Amino acid sequence: MDASTLQLIILPAGVIAVLFALYLARDVLSRDTGTREMAEVAGTIYEGAIAFIRRQYTTIALLALVGAVVIGAVITWVENSAEVAGTDVFGVELGIRTAIAFLVGAACSMASGIIGMYISVRSNLRTAAAARHSLVGAVQVAMRGGAVSGFLVVALSLLGVYLIFVAMGGLEKPAQAPFLIVGYGFGASFVALFAQLGGGIYTKAADVGSDLVGKVEAGIPEDDPRNAGVVADLVGDNVGDCAGRGADLFESTAAENIGAMILGVSVYAIALSAGWPNPESWIFFPLVVRAFGLLATIVAIFFVRGREDEDPMNMLNRGYWVTTILSVAALALVTNVMMQTPGQTGANGLPTWLFFFGAGVVGLATSVVFVYITQYYTSGSFRPVREIATASKTGPATNIISGTAVGFETTFATAISIGIALLVSHWLGEQAGLLTADGTNVGGVFGTAVATMGMLMTTAYILAMDTFGPITDNAGGIAEFSRAEAQAREITDRLDAVGNTTKALTKGYAIASASLAAFLLFSAYIDKVNLILGSRGEPLMTSVNLADVGVFVAALIAAMLVYFFSSLAIRAVGTTAQSIIVEVRRQFREMPGIMDYSQRPDYARVVDITTRAALRQMVLPGLVAVGTPIVVGILLGYQAVAGLLMVGTIAGVLLATVLNNGGGAWDNAKKYIESGHLLDDDGNVIGKKTPAHAAAVVGDTVGDPFKDTAGPSLHVLVKLLATITLVLAPLFIR
Amino acid sequence: MDASTLQLIILPAGVIAVLFALYLARDVLSRDTGTREMAEVAGTIYEGAIAFIRRQYTTIALLALVGAVVIGAVITWVENSAEVAGTDVFGVELGIRTAIAFLVGAACSMASGIIGMYISVRSNLRTAAAARHSLVGAVQVAMRGGAVSGFLVVALSLLGVYLIFVAMGGLEKPAQAPFLIVGYGFGASFVALFAQLGGGIYTKAADVGSDLVGKVEAGIPEDDPRNAGVVADLVGDNVGDCAGRGADLFESTAAENIGAMILGVSVYAIALSAGWPNPESWIFFPLVVRAFGLLATIVAIFFVRGREDEDPMNMLNRGYWVTTILSVAALALVTNVMMQTPGQTGANGLPTWLFFFGAGVVGLATSVVFVYITQYYTSGSFRPVREIATASKTGPATNIISGTAVGFETTFATAISIGIALLVSHWLGEQAGLLTADGTNVGGVFGTAVATMGMLMTTAYILAMDTFGPITDNAGGIAEFSRAEAQAREITDRLDAVGNTTKALTKGYAIASASLAAFLLFSAYIDKVNLILGSRGEPLMTSVNLADVGVFVAALIAAMLVYFFSSLAIRAVGTTAQSIIVEVRRQFREMPGIMDYSQRPDYARVVDITTRAALRQMVLPGLVAVGTPIVVGILLGYQAVAGLLMVGTIAGVLLATVLNNGGGAWDNAKKYIESGHLLDDDGNVIGKKTPAHAAAVVGDTVGDPFKDTAGPSLHVLVKLLATITLVLAPLFIR
C-alpha cells in the first residue's frame, strides 16, 4: 500500500463514523422508555436542556457572526495596509477565507454539540429503564448514547478540517492550505469557550443554588421533587459535562490537526527537494491517524460488555484498552506507509518512520499515564482522598486546607509526565534526521506533533466515556425522582460512581492533550510569523526571548490571566446561584402547597431563569479570554504574544489540574465518608450526618465550581490562546 | 560634590544605622515593664521564642555549613575540570571564595534575625505596659522595637555586601568583584528560606493546633490560659512574622544589591571607554542609594507621633511618607552626582541621569501602589472583604468560594502594576542612551535595576512597620493573659488591628520587590553565563528561547514547583498541628486540675514539641526548593535554568499574591463580622456566635497557612531560584 492510497481513508472513515453514530442513536432510541413517571421527568429535563442549548447557541451564533466579521475585516485591513503588508504571501483574500473558515468551524462545533446533547438527554431515560432489568444493558445504553457524541465530535472535526482544506485548494497546493484554514480551529475554540463557560456556570449554579435553598434552608433532601431547582440541576449535568466537554474536545481535535498540518509543511519541503514519494503525505498524516483512531474506536465499542456481577468500570476499561492497542497497530501502519524516506535513515541507521512511530506511542502512553494519575488523586482507594476524609474529622477548615494541599500536589505528577513526554518525543523526532536545506532539524517539533496525534487517536472513546457520566448521573436522578424500584436505583448508583471517575479521567486527558498541543501550536505560530516576515524580507523570528522585557511582561500577564479568568468564572457561578435561590424561595413562599406535595413547583421557570443568568454571566470571562491576547499582541508585538501563549498554557494547564483534581478529590472524600469507610480512633464508622460528613460536604461544594466550571473552561482558554494568535498573527507584526 | 565623595557615605551610613538601632533598643529596654503578671507571661514567650530560634538557627547553621562545603567543592571541581573549564575567567579560587561569601551571608542574616527577634520579644511587654497609660506611647514603643529589626536587617546587609566586596578586591577591580560575591546573596537566601519555612510552619501550626484542641474540642475561649498551646501560639507570632520576614527582606536587599552591581559592570565598561569621571560609581550606585534610604528612615522614625485620639495607622503612614519623600530627594541627588556622562545625553537631549532618576521614582511609586492594592483587597472598607463577609451568610462553602475568587482576582492589579513598572523603567533606561561598543543598549535593564533600588530605599521603614505587627499582637496577648486593665486592652486591640494591616502591606511590598528584582537578577545571570562562555570562545547566550523544548519543560517545572512547594508547606502545618493537638489533649487528660485553674499547663513542653516538629517539617520543602534548580540545570543546561528562573518568578509571585491576599481578606472578613458590620435583610447585625461568623472563622483558618506559611515562603523561593542559579551557573554550562 502506498501513502496516496492510505490518504483515501480519511473521507470514508469520517462518513463511517457518522453512520455508526446514527446507528447507535437509532439503537438507543429504540430501547424501552420505562415507566410513565420516568418518561415524565425525563421529558422535563429534555425540555430544559433543549431550551438552554437553543438559547445558548443562539447567543453563541450571534457572537460568532460578530467575531467572523471582525476577523475578516481586520485581516483584510492588514492585507491592504501598505505599512503592515506581507500577508499577500498567501496570494489570496486571506480575510474573507479566514472568516468563512471561522464560521464553518463554529457551525460544525455547534452541530456536534447539539446532536450529541440531543441523544444524551434521550439516553438518560433509556439507561434508567434498562437499569430495571440489567446492569450490562444499562452500561451499554449509556455507553452507546455517549458514543454518539464521541463519534460525531471527532468525525465532524475530521471531515470539517479535511473538506475545508480541500476547498482552500489543499489538494493542489498542500503547503499553502494549512495556513488558510486556521480560522476553522479558531471558530471551534470560540464556540468551545462559550459552550464550556455557559454550560459550566449553569450546571454548578443550579447545583449549588438548589442545594443551598433546599437542603440548607428548607431542610429537604437532595434531589427532592419539592425543590423547584432540582430539574435545573439535572439539566445542568447535560449542558455542562456533555455539551461543554464535547465542544472542548472538538476544538482539540480540530485545532491540533491544523497545527500538525502546518508543521507538516516544513517536512513536505524537505521531502519535495529530496524527491521522496508522496511528499504531501507529511501534511495529510494527522488526518489519516485520526481516521484510524475512529475506526479503532468503532471496534472497541463492541467490547463494552461483561457479566452482571462485574465492576462496570472494567467493561469500559476493556474498550479503552482495545482502542489503545488497535491505535498502536494503526500507528505502526500509518507511519510505515506514509513516512517513506528512500535513501535516508535516522540515527543508528534505523528507518525514519520508526522514530515517529515511537513518538506516537509516547503520546498514547501519556494518555494512559494520565488516566492513572487522575485515578490516584481522585479515587477513594488511595492516600490523597483518604487524607482529605481524615482531615474532615477536625472540621471544614482542615478539610479545605487538606484538599488544597492535594490539589497543589497533583501538579507534580502532571508536569513531570508532560515534561518527559515532550522531551522524549522531541528527542525521538530529532533522531529521525529531518534536516531542512539550511540544516535546521525540524524533526524534533514534528515528533511532539506526532505524539499529540497519537494521544488524540483515542479521543472518540474517551469522549464516549465522558458523556457516559452525565447520562448515568441523570439516569440516577430519574430513578430517584420517579421513585423507581430499589434494584434500578442500586444499578444507577453504581453507574453514577463510575461516571464520576470517567468524567475526571476525561479532564485529565483534555489537560494532557492541551499541554502537548501547546508546543505544536506554538511552533505553528512561529512558522506562520516567519512566512510573513520572510515575504517582507525581514529577519525571521528565531526565538521567543524571555529576557526581552515585552515577552516577560506578556508572560506575567498570561499567568495572571488564568487566575483572573477563573476568578470571573467562579464568581459567575455565585451570582447565577443567587438568582436561583431567590426564585426557589419565592416559590416556597407563594406556593405553600409545595411542601405537602399538593402543588407542583414551577421547574421550568427556574430552568429559564438559570439559563438567562448563566448566559449573561458567560460573556465577561469570555471577552476577557478573547481580548487579552489581542490587546497584548497589538501593544507588545508578535514575539510577546508567543510568550503569552506558552506561559499561558503552562499556567492554565497547571491551574486546571489543581482545580479539577482538587475538586474531584473533595467530591470523592465526601463519597468515601458516605460509603462508611472513615473510622474513628475506636474503629467505629463515621458516616452520614456526622460533623465530619458535614465538613466533607463543604469541601465538595467548594470543589464544584472549581472542577466543573473554572477548570474545564481553562482547558478551552489555553487552546483559544493558541488559535487566536495563529489567526491574528498578521495583526501583531508591525 | 563628586561621585567618589558620595561613595564614602556607605560605611558611615551603615554604622550610623546600627548605632541608631542600638539607641532604639536601649530606649525600648529602659521602658516600664508593667505588672508582675505581664512580665511573667512575657518571660514565658521570651523563653519559648529564644529556645526556638536557638534550635532553629543551630539547624540552619548546620545546613548552611553543609551547603558551603558542597558549593565550594562543586565550583572548585568545575574550575579544575578540563572539559567544563572557563571559570578561570575570574583568575581566583572561585570555589573557596564563594563558600566563604556564602557563610558570611548566612551568618549576617542569622545575626540580624536573632538580634531583631531578641528586641521584639522584649518590646511586646513594654508595649503592653505603655498601653496602660497612652496610645501614642504604645505606638512608639512598638514602632521603635520594630525599627531595631528594620535598621539592623538593612544595615547589616549593606555593610556585609560592601565589606565582602572590598575584601574580594572590589576597590581595585570593581568590574570583577560583583561576580565573586554572589555567594553572599545565596547564603542570605538559604537562611531566609529555612527561617521563613520553619517560622511559618511553627506559627500557623501553633495557631491552628491550639485553636482546634482548645476552642473546638475543650470549648474554652481563644488565648485562654488553660490551653497549654497558647504560649506556643504567642511565640509563633514572633518567629514567623518577625524573624521570617526579616530574613526575607535581608535576602532581598543583599541579593538585589549584588545583582544591580553586576549590571553596573556593563555600564562601567561604557563609562571607562568614554572616559567619564568615576566609572566605578555605576557599580557603587546601588549601595549609595541604599545608604541614603537608611538615613531617610532614621529621620522618619521621629515623625511617628500624634494625638491620643488619632488613628494609629495615620502615625505610621506619616513616617512612611516622610521616608518616601526624602528618598525621592536623595535619589535625585545620587543619580545627578553619580551618573555623570560628559559629552553624552539621552533622548531629546535630556541628561542621562534624569532618566534613571525617573526609573527610581517609578520603583518608589510602585511600592506605594502596592500598599494601596493590598489595602483594597484586604481591608473591610472595600468590596472584596465585604463580598466574602456576605457570602458567609450562606455558610462556609460560599465563604471559601468567594475568598478564592477574591484571591485569584488580586493577581490582576498585581500583574498589571508590575508590568507597567517594568515596561516604563525599562523604556526610561533605554532612552538614557547607554550603548556598549557593539551598539547594545544596556540602559533598559539597568533602568529596571534602578527602579528596584528605588523601591528598596524604604525597606527599613517597611520592615519596622511589619515587626510592629507581631509586637502589638503579642502585647494584646500579654494584656489578655495577664488580665490587664480595660483601657490597656482596648489600646492593644486597636494596635493589633493596625498591625494586621502593616503585616499585609509588607507582604505586598516583598512581592513587588521580588518581581522587579527577578528581571534584574535574571539579567545578572545572563551576564555571568556570557562571561564564562566568552572566555571559552563559545557563542554567547543572546536569548532564553521558550520555543526550545528544554526551556519550555523547565518553565513547566518551575510553575509546578511553586504549587508543589506550597503543598508541602501547607501539609507541614497540618502535620505539626497534629503533634500539638495530641500533646494538649494529653495534658487535659493527665492534669485534671487545668480546667479549674488549680494546675498550670506545661506550656514549655508544647513549645518544645512544636519547635521540634516545625524544624523537622521544614527540611523537605526546603530541599525541594534548593534541589529543583540544580537538577534542572544539570539535566537541561544553562538556558533552561534561565527559563526556570523567570517562569518560576512569575508563577511564584502570582501564587504568593493569591495566598497572601486571599488569606488576608478571609481574616478581615471575620473581623468585619466581629465588629458588627454585617447586616441581615432586615438590617439586624449578624455578629459573633452566628452561623455566618462560624463560616467566616472557617475561612480565616483556611487562610492562615496560606498567608503566613506558604505565601511568604514563596517570596523567598523566588529569590532563592535567582541566587542559586547565579552562584551555580558554572555547573550548568557544559
Cα–Cα dist B44/A111, whole Å: 72
What integer pLDDT is reported at residue A11 of this predicted model? 95
Is A620 in the B-facing interface, judged by CB distances under 8 Å? no
- The pLDDT value given to residue B709: 93
Phi, psi of A7 (to 5 degrees): -60, -30
A552 and B646 in contact by Cβ < 8 A?
yes
> Quick check: B143 pLDDT over 60?
yes
Question: Looking at residue B89, what is its pLDDT?
Answer: 62
- Euclidean distance between CA atoms B221 and A408, whole angstroms: 33
Residues 665-724 of A with CB under 8 A from B: 697-698, 701-702, 705-706
Q: Which of A541, A576, A650 would you mutate first to test chain B, the one with the most B CBs within 10 A?
A: A650
Give the mean pLDDT of chain B: 90
pLDDT, residue A89, reads: 62
pLDDT at residue A68 is higher than 90:
yes
Whether pLDDT at A281 is above 60: yes
In B42-61, the residues whose Cβ lies within 8 Å of chain A are: none
| CA-based radius of gyration for chain B | 25
**Measured between alpha carbons, how far is A697 from A388 in angstroms, rounded to an integer?**
12
Query: B135: which residues sit within 8 A by CB, 6+ positions away?
Result: B308, B310, B312, B491, B494, B495
pLDDT band at B88 (very low <50, low <70, confident <90, very high): low
On the question of pLDDT at A86 being above 80, the answer is: no
Q: pLDDT category, B535, cuts 50, 70, 90?
A: confident
Burial class (CB in 10 A: 0-12, 13-18, 19+), A684: exposed
Nearest to A238 by CA among A293, A199, A278, A212: A199
What's the pLDDT score for residue A450? 96
- For residue A412, the chain B residues in CB contact (below 8 A) are 560, 563-564, 567
pLDDT for A672 equals: 92
So what's the pLDDT on residue A327? 97
Q: What is the pLDDT at residue B115?
A: 82
Q: In this complex, do B564 and A411 lie within 8 Å of one another by their Cβ atoms?
A: yes
Question: Which of A216, A408, A442, A521 to mutate against chain B (most B CBs within 10 Å)?
Answer: A408
Residue B27, judged by CB atoms within 10 A of its CB (0-12, 13-18, 19+), counts as middle
What pLDDT was estimated at residue A599?
Answer: 87
pLDDT in tens, A12-43: 999 999 999 999 999 999 999 988 888 888 88
Provide the grid cell at B41: 507571661
Mutate to test the interface with A, among B263, B366, B394, B526 (most CBs of A within 10 A): B394
> Which phi and psi angles does A733 have, rounded to 5°?
-95, 110
Poorest-confidence range of A152-161, A457-466, B246-255, B547-556? B246-255
Which of these ranges, A481-495, A558-572, B128-142, B188-202, has the smallest mean pLDDT? A481-495
Task: Specify burial of residue A475 (Cβ count, 10 A radius: 0-12, 13-18, 19+).
Answer: buried
Q: pLDDT band at B90, cuts 50/70/90?
A: low
Q: Is the pLDDT assigned to residue A82 strictly greater than 70?
A: no
**pLDDT tens figures, A300-330:** 999 988 888 888 888 899 999 999 999 999 9
The percentage of residues in chain A with a pLDDT greater than 70, rounded to a whole number, is 98
Greater model confidence, A437 or B704: B704
Chain B positions touching A718 (Cβ under 8 A) are: none
pLDDT at B287: 96
Q: How far is A551 from chain B (nearest CA, A)?
A: 10
Residue B289: predicted pLDDT: 96
**Average pLDDT of A341-356?**
91
Question: Distance between CA atoms of A144 and A305, rounded to whole angstroms?
Answer: 11
Mean pLDDT of chain A: 90
Q: What is the pLDDT of residues A119-169, one digit of tens each?
A: 888 999 999 999 999 999 999 999 999 999 999 999 999 999 999 999 988
Secondary structure of A410-466 in HEC code, one letter for each residue: HHHHHHHHHHHHHHHHHHHHHHCCCECCCCCECHHHHHHHHHHHHHHCCHHHHHHHH
pLDDT at position A91, please? 63
pLDDT at A523: 87
Q: Is the pLDDT of residue A679 over 60?
A: yes
Q: How confident is the model at residue A681 (pLDDT cuts 50, 70, 90)?
A: confident
B311-315 LR contacts (CB < 8 Å, sep 24+): B311/B498, B312/B135, B312/B139, B312/B494, B312/B495, B312/B498, B313/B498, B313/B501, B315/B136, B315/B139, B315/B143
Do the Cβ atoms of A613 and A564 come closer than 8 Å? no
What is the pTM for the complete model shown? Answer: 0.94
Average the pLDDT over B689-710 and give the result.
93
Report yes or no: B161 and B181 within 8 Å, Cβ to Cβ.
yes
pLDDT of residue A92: 67
Residue B110 has pLDDT above 60, yes or no: yes
Q: Which tens digit of pLDDT belongs to each residue from A465-485?
A: 999 988 998 898 888 888 888
Q: How far apart are CA A445 and CA A516, in angstroms?
A: 11
Burial (CB count <10 Å: 0-12, 13-18, 19+), residue A715: buried
Amino acid B227: pLDDT: 86
Which of A 313-352 lie inside 8 A of B, CB atoms? none
Q: Which residue has the higher pLDDT, A519 or A250?
A: A250
Q: How many CB atoms lie within 10 A of CB B623?
A: 12
Q: A124 CA to chain B: closest CA distance, Å? A: 30
Share of chain A above pLDDT 90, in %: 57
The mean pLDDT value for B576-604 works out to: 88
- Tens of pLDDT along A368-420? 999 889 989 988 889 999 999 999 998 999 999 999 999 999 999 999 999 99
CA nearest to B628, candidates B566, B560, B526, B715: B560
Place of cell 508532560: A418
pLDDT, one tens digit per residue, over B295-353 is 999 999 999 888 888 888 888 999 999 999 999 999 999 999 999 898 888 889 999 99
User: Do the chains contact at A574 and B398, CB–CB below 8 Å?
Assistant: yes
Express each pLDDT in B355-412 by its tens digit: 999 999 999 999 999 988 998 998 888 999 999 999 999 899 999 999 999 999 999 9
Judged by CB atoms closer than 8 Å, whether chains meet at A570 and B408 is answered as yes
Query: Does residue B441 sit at the A interface (CB-CB below 8 Å)?
Result: no
The answer to whether residue A395 neighbours chain B at the CB level (below 8 Å) is yes
pLDDT > 70? residue A579: yes
How much of chain B exceeds pLDDT 90, in percent? 57
The CA distance from B570 to the nearest CA of chain A, in Å, is: 6
| pLDDT confidence band for B461 (50 / 70 / 90) | very high
Q: What is the pLDDT of residue B214?
A: 82
- CB B715, CB B510: distance < 8 Å: yes
DSSP for A143-204 reads HHHHHHHHHHHHHHHHHHHHHHHHHTTTTT-TTTHHHHTHHHHHHHHHHHHHHHHHHHHHHH
Count Cα neighbours of A174 within 13 Å in the Cβ-side half-sphere: 20
Q: Among B515, B570, B654, whose Cβ lies nearest the Cβ of A405?
A: B570
Q: Which residues pair with B435 in a beta bridge?
A: B441
Interface contact flag, A405 B563, Cβ < 8 Å: no
Q: Provide, as residue numbers in chain A, all residues whose Cβ is less than 8 Å from the Cβ of B408.
A: 563-564, 566-567, 570
Q: What are the C-alpha distances in Å from A403 to residues A374, B41, B411?
A: 15, 37, 22
Q: How far apart are CA B233 and CA B221, in angstroms?
A: 14
Kindly list the distances between the CA atom of residue A288 and the CA atoms of A335, A447, A520, in Å, as whole numbers in the listed order: 10, 16, 18
> Which whole number is the average pLDDT over B40-62?
89
User: What is the reported pLDDT for A420?
Assistant: 97
CA distance B99 to B92: 13
